[in-house]
Amino acid sequence: MVKTNIKYHERVAELQLDGRLMGGQDYDTISSGVRTIMANGYVDLIFNLNGIKWINHTGLGTLVNVSHDLKKLNGRTKICCPTDRVNEILTVTQLKSVFETYDTLDDALKSYEES
């Protein structure tokens, strides 16, 4: 089961994820976090995956679905700090072509300033 923690930066929200992202109840947990973020007026989001030990196809679908929901509101979703294993999964599934992915949170935050 995944745990979430929200941090707000100037105009970008960071959703820190910890544990195993497997879908099902995890979708509800992440969706709840994103609804909180949107209720606070944020539509740009960084998924911080530093604490994710494993992610399956359903968990990946959760990230994609949330990203599409934010895109409808002109929001952008990016990923930072994936572990080596998660980074490999993002590469194999070609989701790096869907999500801008950064090694550090600072790099992800700077990317919002540049665009």
Q: What is the three-state SS of 72-114? A: CCCCCEEEECCCHHHHHHHHHCCHHHCCEEECCHHHHHHHHHH
Q: Which domains does the chain have, with CATH numbers?
A: 2-108 (3.30.750.24)
pLDDT tens profile 28-70: 999 999 999 999 999 999 999 999 999 999 999 999 999 999 9
- pLDDT at position 29 is 95
Distance CA 85, CA 68 (A): 24
Whether pLDDT at 90 is above 90: yes
Phi, psi for residue 59 in degrees, rounded to 5: -65, -40
- pLDDT at position 24 is 86
Whether pLDDT at 71 is above 90: yes
- pLDDT at position 68 is 93
